[in-house]
Structure 1
Amino acid sequence: MSQSEKKLLETLKGRIYEHPPVWMMRQAGRHLPEYLELRSRAKDFLDFCYSPSLATEATLQPIRRYGMDGAILFADILLILDAMGRNVRFVAGEGPKVDPAERASDLDKFPIETLLDRMSPVYETVSRVKTQLPSETTLIGFAGAPWTVAVYAIEGKGGTDKSKARLKAYQEPDDLDAMLDILVETTAHYLKAQADAGADALMVFDSWAEGLSENSMERLVVKPTEKLIERVRELGVTQPIIGFPRGSGAMLGRYAEQTGVTGVGLDTALPVNYANEVVPKGMPVQGNLDPLLLIAGGNEMDSRIRQIKAAFKNRPHIFNLGHGVTPQTPIANVERAVRVIRGD
């Protein structure tokens, strides 16, 4: 491999490596002392996300410390709702809160040009990171999937059983479909803006895909994601797109086959052999390692890393977690994990 070759990007194009490229969801975050110092400079989390100088530094910190093969933009999936006027705020100990959207029209109060302009600090961050990243590091932009963002909009917060959003899907299907369509269009333009600013790859997070019936999964996750990918491609975006339908379970294969994503993220609960069976041959996969193993460390962590590597040795594979790095994760364990992944 040449020094300037983007190993992660090449994997998304179908290349197989003996030692896969690695990055970790939430690799920039509260387990890093340098992040905590940086975070203290912003008045709140939204200010942090909207400050290109701070967000750029947060994106680069795990690259400097660990030499990850991928840098993911430091932002948040709820910035779209904030641009839509839903008063997003992050409450200590409670997580994100938004003013609930009762109707689709609550998400359609501003022209799309206005929404995109409000999120312009994000594109500035992408541009700044791009100029400072090592040439071999892949820059990943991202957005929340339509269903997951809709859940936040309807519920007004995260961490719920999604019953309010799921009931709306049953009781007011036309209005929910209208919500999803608004989010598809806005998100497509948002991802295009990140791609235009320099993102090498894109990722779509469907964090609340779990717990849905087969027909609901098809309607609320698979179809809107398919629409989103189609729209992004219509807008001229050629970068590879990773989809992460967390908790999709037995619907993973259908998601991988139908949505048009380039690769799929695997949550911790998915058996690796099952993923190999249902994800189309040759499609890149990413994820699966339990984030708690990064806390535990030791031989248990090493063993599971090697099991995952072995399971995916015959397909394009990006090593990652099944969810994000937790705040209590020891830095030494992340360093050790990266060494084991790379066969050092």
Structure 2
Amino acid sequence: MTTLRNDLLLRTLRGEKTERPPVWMMRQAGRYLPDYMKLKEKYTFFERCQTPELATEITIQPVEQVGVDAAIIFSDILVVPQAMGMEVQMVEGKGPFLPDPIKKAGDLNKLVVPDVEERLGYVFDALRLTKKTLDGRVPLIGFAGSPWTLLCYMVQGKGSKTFDEAKAFCYTQPETAHRLLQLITDTTIAYLKGQVRAGADVVQIFDSWGGLLGPDDFEILSLQYIRQIVAAVKDEVLTIIFAKGAWQSLDAMAATGAHGLGIDWCIKASTARQLAGPHIALQGNYDPAKLLGPIPVIKKEVKAMLDAFKGYPHIANLGHGILPDVPVDHAKAFVETVKEYKF
């Protein structure tokens, strides 16, 4: 077992004292890095995900080029619907497309709770290879989409700002919706446990569309399933929930027993802390678009963000994924400002 030389992220999630906050960025492995774009020209999206050597190379690029305190495995949340038997295409410039979406109860018959080793073994292989290649430099984060967020794509068939078809499906066919959410939950638990066996030090559950639901519906359609996942893995691995826009439920998310909660830039640090309580690590919450601003401004604002979270466990991160057109030196300025900060 290789000893971790930089365990800042793990110590922060455990609530231990650290000399500074750890820093990483959502979507750090990929689209803003020139070396990633070279690989993108040569291989399709799923080739990059399904080839462990490529996934490893992409995962490690930001560790070497931007200096982040953690690596997050290069993959996609939609590998889970794919493993469950749905066709998933990545359409250049448009995003995900699922040509045969779920519309009624009978459509669930085409889904399976897969043998994750068989269907998603390539992710585990990528984690093992990345872990070996990192050789203890930084921790490795694994991840999965939340059941609600995956349902959105599986029912809508493509990305959307409102996912009204997915919501209508849940409101008009609740029994079928809950059956689907449970199938996704069961698959996700097995998948994350496989990631832990393969070497993930931390796992993050991405509920990208949690913010589309009011507090009651968030509990019914999203959080009760996330709670099952956290309960199944939290004793085996450090766990972060990131439900974008669902900050009104931070107290309920903190009560799941997760070690960290991601927040976006639409909530003040003080409000988030008040809701989440003093013990859980908060992760975020720099607006990714602000990385397009001038470097001196980025440095000033990152310091202000760190000051706002000071005194309690905090992981410096963006409030959502890094944008494709962010210059690499701006991403570096974000990371370096955190690394220069001292409690």
TM-score of the two chains, using structure 2 as the length reference: 0.94
Partner of 1:83: 83
Query: Given the two structures, how large is their TM-score scaled by the length of structure 1?
Result: 0.93
Report what 1:48 is aligned to: 48
Aligned counterparts of 2:261 and 2:4: Cα–Cα separation in 1: 27
Aligned to 1:243: 241
- Partner of 1:67: helix, strand, or coil? coil
Contact 2:103/2:169, CA 8 A, preserved across alignment: no
Shift of 1:19: 2.0
How far off its partner does 1:117 sit?
A: 1.1
Q: How does 1:7-18 map to 2 (within 5 A)?
A: 7-18=8-19
1:74 and 2:74 equivalent?
yes
CA distance in 2, matches of 1:307, 1:266: 16
- C-alpha distance 60-175 of structure 1, shift in aligned 2 (>3 A): same
Question: 1:161-216, CA deviations, whole angstroms, 9 ceiling, x for partnerless residues?
Answer: 11111112221111111111001100000000000000001000000011312211
Question: Residue deviations 1:213-255, cap 9 Å, x none?
Answer: 221111112111111222335xxx5111100010103222222
Aligned AA (2:210): A
Shift of 1:262: 1.4
Distance verdict in 2 for CA 1:310–1:105, change over 3 Å: farther
Over 3 Å counting, the alpha-carbon distance change for 1:307 and 1:299 in structure 2 is same
What displacement does 1:58 show? Answer: 0.3
Match of 1:112, SS?
Answer: coil
Secondary structure of 2:204's partner?
strand
Q: Deviations over 1:36-66 (max 9, x none)?
A: 1122221x21121111111110001111112
Question: Which has the higher mean CA deviation after the structures are superposed, 157-166 or 20-29?
Answer: 157-166
In the TM superposition, what are the counterparts of 1:165-184 in structure 2 within 5 Å?
Answer: 165-184=166-185
- 1:270-322 C-alpha deviation (Å, 9 max, x unpaired): 21111111112110111110111111133332222112211222111111000
Cα shift at 1:16: 3.3
Structure 1 counterpart SS, 2:143: strand
**Aligned mates of 2:83, 2:56 — CA distance in 1:** 20
After TM superposition, the structure 1 stretch with the greater mean CA deviation from structure 2, 57-66 or 108-117, is 108-117
Letter of the aligned partner of 1:249 in structure 2? W
C-alpha deviation, 1:25, in angstroms: 0.5
Aligned-residue offset at 1:112: 3.4
SS state at 1:320 partner: strand
- CA shift in 2, pair 1:232/1:299, >3 Å: same
User: Is the Cα–Cα contact under 8 Å of residues 6 and 139 in structure 2 kept in the other structure?
Assistant: no
Contact 1:7 1:136 in 2 (8 A): no
Q: Does 1:266 align with 2:263?
A: yes
2: CA distance between counterparts of 1:151 and 1:74?
Answer: 22
Q: Is 2:93 aligned against 1:93?
A: yes
Q: Does the Cα contact within 8 Å between 2:49 and 2:55 map onto a contact in 1?
A: yes
| Map 1:107-186 → 2, pairs under 5 A | 107=108, 109=110, 111-186=112-187
**Partner SS for 1:288:** strand
Deviation, structure 1 residue 5: 4.0
Runs (4+) of structure 1 exceeding 4 A deviation are none
Cα RMSD over matched residues?
1.8
Q: CA separation in 2, counterparts of 1:29 and 1:170?
A: 36
Q: Distance in 1 between matches of 2:185 and 2:106?
A: 15
Deviations 1:73-115 (A, max 9, x none): 0000000111122110011121101121124564554653445
Distance 1:97 1:273 in 2: 39
User: What runs of 5+ residues in structure 2 fail to find an aligned partner?
Assistant: none
- Structure 1 window deviating more from structure 2 (152-161 vs 176-185): it is 152-161
Letter in 2 for 1:271: K
| Residues 288-303 of structure 1: pairs in structure 2 closer than 5 A | 288-303=285-300
Question: Could you tell me the percent identity over the aligned residues?
Answer: 36
> 1:253 and 1:299 mapped to 2: Cα distance?
35
Q: What is the match of residue 322 of structure 1?
A: 319
Give per-residue Cα distances to partners, 1:105-155, cap 9 Å, x unaligned. 645546534454111100000000000114140100000000000010010
- For residues 322 and 21 of structure 1, the distance between their equivalents in structure 2, rounded to whole angstroms, comes to 15
Q: Which residue of 2 aligns with 1:26?
A: 27
Question: Which runs of no fewer than 5 residues in structure 1 stay unpaired?
Answer: none
User: CA 1:24–1:333 in structure 2 vs 1: closer, same or farther (change >3 Å)?
Assistant: same
